[in-house]
Homo-oligomer: A and B are copies of this chain.
Amino acid sequence: MENLMNLADLFTPRARELVPPLWGPSAASEGTPTISLAYGLADPLVLPREELVETTAQILATDVDAVLNYAPVAAELVTLVAERLRREGVAAHEQQVIITYGSSQILGLLPQILVNPGDTILVEAPTFMGAVGLFVRAGAQLVGVPVDANGLDVDALETVLRDLRARGVRPKFIYTIPNFQNPTGTTLSLARRQRIVALAAEYGVIVVEDDAYSDLRFHGEPLPPMAALDQEGWVLRVGTFSKILAPGLRVGWAHGPKALIDRLRMVKVEGSSSPFISHLVARFSAEGRLDTHITSLRRHYAAKCATMITALHRELPELPFVPPDGGFFIWLRLPEGVSGRELEPVALQQGVEVLHGNRCYADGSGAEYVRLAFSYVPETQIAGAIQRLGNSIRAVMR
C-alpha cells in the first residue's frame, strides 16, 4: 500500500499545485471509420520510411561512438539549422542554436526561465493550445491579441503593450506563429513583422517566433522571419522537424539571444538531445535531401489544401475562410447560430471529426469557428469529409 499522504508531504508547493495538461499531444485516431480533420498530424503517405531505414544504416556504418555512445548532439545538425537560418537572412550562430525534443520542449522550458507566477505573456487569439497549456501550467497570465487575415493585429498589440505599461506590467514575451498560423492559416505581413520587432525593442519584450510551417509554403514568396528583421536581439526563433520530416522523431530547435539559449540548455536537465536521432536527422537532410523532400511535401499538401478549398466552396459556399498559403489548417467560420461545440458531436455522428474553435482560445471564445486539418486525411476522402461536415452543419441549423 502506498503511503501517499506522507509521501505527498515531501512535494514542493509548486509540485502540489501541478495539474495534468489541459491538452495532451494529439493522438492518431483509433481506427474507427470516422474521417479525422481534427489534428495537425503529418500525412503518413509522405513520412519517409525507406529513406529513414537507409539513413539509419548509413549513420551506424560510420562513427558508432558518436551515434550510439554517450556523446553530444550531432554538430552536423546544429550546423544544418544555422545554415537554414542564414538562408532566411538570420545572422545565425551555431552557439546560439539549441536542439530539443520537439519544439514543444522549448515552449515548456521557456517559462522556467522567464515566468514567475502571475507574469504576463501575450498570445495570439486564437493560437496553438499546446503552447497555451504549457504557459498556463507555469502560472502565467495570458493576454490574447486578435489575429486577422494578415496575422497578429499589431495595432491591438501596441494598445495592449501600452495599457500594460501604464499599469506597470512588462510582459515576458509575445508568442506568435507568423506563417500559416495554427489554427487560422493566416500569414503575418512584412509590415507587421517589422512593426512587431520594433515594438519588442521599444517595450523590452521577447518575441517567440514559432515557425513550424514556414517551409510548407504552397505559393507566393516567403517573407523574412522576424529573427532576420530583429537588430537588437529580442527574437527567439523556434522551429521543428516535425512537419518537414516526421513528428515521431521529436526534434525541434531554437535560435536566439545567447543569454536565453544558454539558460535553455541549463534547464534542459537531461543534457543534450539524442546523438542517434540528431545524427539521423542530419544525415537524412544532407546533400540537399531535406530540400528535395520539402519540395515534394509542398506539392503534396498544396494539392490536399486545394481539394479541401474546392470541396468547401462547393459544399458550403456561404461560409467564409482565409485560403491558407501553406501549412496544415483551414479555419472555418460557421453560420450564425451554429457553435463549434454543438457541431463537434453531430459531425462525429456523421463520421467526420473536427476541432471546435473554443479549443484554440485561451479564454474559451471562438465558438463560431472550427479548425479543419487537411494534412492527415487521405486526399481521396477530403470531398466526402466536407460533405459530411456540410450535412452536420445543416443538421445543427435545423
Are B70 and A60 in contact (CB-based, < 8 A)? no
**Complex: A204 Cα to B234 Cα, angstroms:** 47
Are B41 and A64 in contact (CB-based, < 8 A)? no
A57, CB-defined interface residue at 8 Å? yes
Are B269 and A104 in contact (CB-based, < 8 A)? yes
The minimal Cβ–Cβ distance linking A8 to chain B, given in whole angstroms, is 6
Are A60 and B64 in contact (CB-based, < 8 A)? no
Binary contact track A49-83/B, C-beta < 8 Å → 1, others 0: 11011001100110011111111100000000000
Q: A18-B266, A60-B49 are in contact. Are A70 and B12 (CB under 8 A)?
A: no
Are A42 and B28 in contact (CB-based, < 8 A)? no
Q: Which residues of B contact A28 (CB under 8 A)?
A: 65-66, 69-71
A residues 2-51 touching B (CB-CB < 8 Å):
2-4, 6-15, 18-21, 24-28, 39-42, 44, 47, 49-50
**Complex: A275 Cα to B52 Cα, angstroms:** 14
A residues 60-115 touching B (CB-CB < 8 Å):
60-61, 64-72, 100-102, 104-105, 107-109, 112-115
A285, CB-defined interface residue at 8 Å? no
Are A100 and B257 in contact (CB-based, < 8 A)? no
A residues 274-295 touching B (CB-CB < 8 Å):
274-277
> Whose C-beta in chain B lies nearest to the C-beta of A270?
B105
A residues 133-189 touching B (CB-CB < 8 Å):
134, 137, 170, 172-173
Q: Which residues of B contact A25 (CB under 8 A)?
A: 70-72, 271-272
A396, CB-defined interface residue at 8 Å? no
Are A257 and B4 in contact (CB-based, < 8 A)? yes
Are B68 and A247 in contact (CB-based, < 8 A)? yes
Are B204 and A27 in contact (CB-based, < 8 A)? no
A116, CB-defined interface residue at 8 Å? yes
The minimal Cβ–Cβ distance linking A301 to chain B, given in whole angstroms, is 15
A197, CB-defined interface residue at 8 Å? no
Q: A233-B4, A247-B70 are in contact. Are A11 and B263 (CB under 8 A)?
A: yes
A residues 230-276 touching B (CB-CB < 8 Å):
231-234, 242, 246-250, 257-260, 262-263, 265-267, 269-276
Are B248 and A204 in contact (CB-based, < 8 A)? no
A199, CB-defined interface residue at 8 Å? no
Copies in the complex: 2
A228, CB-defined interface residue at 8 Å? no
A1, CB-defined interface residue at 8 Å? yes
A302, CB-defined interface residue at 8 Å? no
Q: Which residues of B contact A269 (CB under 8 A)?
A: 104-105, 107-109, 134
Interface, chain A (partner B; CB < 8 A):
1-4, 6-15, 18-21, 24-28, 39-42, 44, 47, 49-50, 52-53, 56-57, 60-61, 64-72, 100-102, 104-105, 107-109, 112-116, 134, 137, 170, 172-173, 201, 204, 206, 231-234, 242, 246-250, 257-260, 262-263, 265-267, 269-277
A-B contact pairs, 28 of them (CB 8 A): A3-B233, A4-B259, A7-B257, A10-B173, A10-B204, A11-B113, A13-B116, A15-B113, A18-B267, A20-B265, A20-B266, A25-B70, A28-B71, A41-B65, A47-B69, A53-B56, A56-B56, A68-B249, A69-B246, A71-B247, A101-B273, A104-B270, A104-B271, A105-B269, A248-B275, A250-B273, A250-B277, A274-B274
List the 8 closest pairs (A to B, CB-CB), nearest first.
Answer: A108-B269, A2-B233, A105-B270, A248-B275, A68-B248, A68-B246, A15-B113, A49-B60
